[in-house]
Amino acid sequence: MTGLLKSAAFDLLTHPWFGRFLSLGGGPRCVVLMLHRFRSADRSVGGHDPAKLRHLLAGLRRSKIALIDVAQAITAMGDAGTRASLPRRSVAFTIDDGYADLVEIGEPVFAEFDCPVTGFVVPGVIDGECWFWWDQIDWIMRQTTASSLLLELQGHPVTLQWSDARSRHVEKNRLIERLKDIDHGALLAFVTELARVAEVPIAIAAPSRYRVLGWDELRAAESRGMRFGAHSMTHPILSQCTAAQSAYEIGESVRRVRHELAHPQAIFCYPNGRSSDYGMREMAAVSAAGMTSALTTLPRVLCRRDAPMADPDWRFAAPRYPYVEHLGTVARFFLR
Ligand SMILES: [Zn+2]
């Protein structure tokens, strides 16, 4: 999406009309937003612009749209007795993966507006057992002296070729999207092979640009009001794991977050979150782990229509909009 379109989406969401559309009939409505990394000059990391986030939050406050906790939104929406207690129009913010810039850059902006935030964290990465597979790919492609790599993926040739930082970024994202649709074991084997072919050794500890928050930092953030939930142990696409792996990724991450934190959210967050990234198997495992709900990246508004009392499973596939990219879509929803 171009900068101009992103800017237009922002303008639309913060426009006073958006508040009116959000309040149109049919009971309370909540837009759950998903963010990832924040722009960090120190780490040369691109990501959400804190100034634009501030602009959005100011616009939401101005439009009298409530900023609420995502657990409160899902719990109350699912119960006819409590649904009426929800603000008619609200937005809930979630931030995935637990990178250090969440606390360093994002949290102070949310605090300015007294806005509840829930982060979803990955205990295996926090504990230093691994680092994110997409960060390893990023690292390999940044560090290699090559600008063209030839590999094989499940019997098909994969050619990676770039001429500058921008084309490398595009090539990397194209590869990452392709890898999301293959068996997780094959994905890990591919990353290992990529490191070998590119002649870039993968360090055990992640370089600082990929640093995630440690448990002490998460506990300190909790004491300031932030909340956290589990997002799997190593962030695989769960539907691409074996049944045992998937169950472990869910159950153990929930157990670790509960063990380490004082106020864990009873919400699980599916890695990647598309409808093809989880299934009934994962929904059952999330429920068995004691979670009351789970978040996807299915871009819909959380409202009564999507929370039918007759279908308790909706809670384990709760909708969420990627931040920025879908803000225009959110606004168009209310224009219908
Ligand atoms: Zn994630």
> What is the whole-number distance in angstroms between the Cα of residue 247 and the centre of ligand 1?
17
Q: Check residue 313 and give its pLDDT.
A: 83
State the distance from the centre of ligand 1 to the C-alpha of 84, rounded, in angstroms: 32
CATH hierarchy code of domain 3-127+209-335: 3.20.20.370
Alpha-carbon span 131 to 123, nearest angstrom: 10
C-alpha distances (whole Å) from 225 to each of 111, 116, 267 are 9, 7, 17
Cα angle value 301/99/233 (rounded, 5°) = 80
When pLDDT is cut at 50, 70 and 90, the band that residue 303 belongs to is confident
pLDDT in tens, 51-94: 889 988 988 888 888 999 999 999 888 877 788 888 888 999 99
Q: Which two tokens stand for residue 208?
A: 């600082």
What phi and psi values does residue 147 have, to the nearest 5 degrees? -125, 15
Render pLDDT for 288-300 as a digit per residue (tens, 0 to 9): 999 999 999 998 8
Tens digits of per-residue pLDDT, 167-195?
Answer: 999 999 999 999 999 999 999 999 999 99
Judged against a pLDDT cut of 50, whether residue 3 lies above it is answered with no
Q: pLDDT, tens digit, for every residue of 79-137?
A: 777 888 888 889 999 999 999 999 999 999 999 999 999 999 999 999 999 999 999 99
pLDDT confidence tier of residue 283, bands split at 50, 70 and 90: very high
**Ligand 1 centroid – CA 62 distance (Å):** 31
Cα–ligand 1 centroid distance for 213 (angstroms): 14
Alpha-carbon distance of 10 to 140, in angstroms, equals 34
Under 8 Å between Cβ of 78 and 30: no
Concatenating the DSSP letter of every residue in 243-255 gives: HHHHHHHHHHHHH
Structure confidence at residue 329 (pLDDT): 52
Instruction: Indicate whether 1 pLDDT > 50.
Output: no
Give the distance (Å) from ligand 1 centre to CA of residue 68.
21
The full set of domain ranges for the chain reads 3-127+209-335, 133-198
Q: How far apart are CA 333 and CA 297, in angstroms?
A: 16
Torsion (CA) 321, 5, 139, 188 in degrees, nearest 10 = 40
CA of 235 to the centre of ligand 1 (A): 6
For residue 153, give the DSSP letter.
Answer: E
132, HSE (Cβ side, Cα atoms, 13 Å): 24
Q: In the chain, pLDDT over 70 holds for what percent of residues?
A: 87
Tokens 């909706």 sit at which residue?
Answer: 314
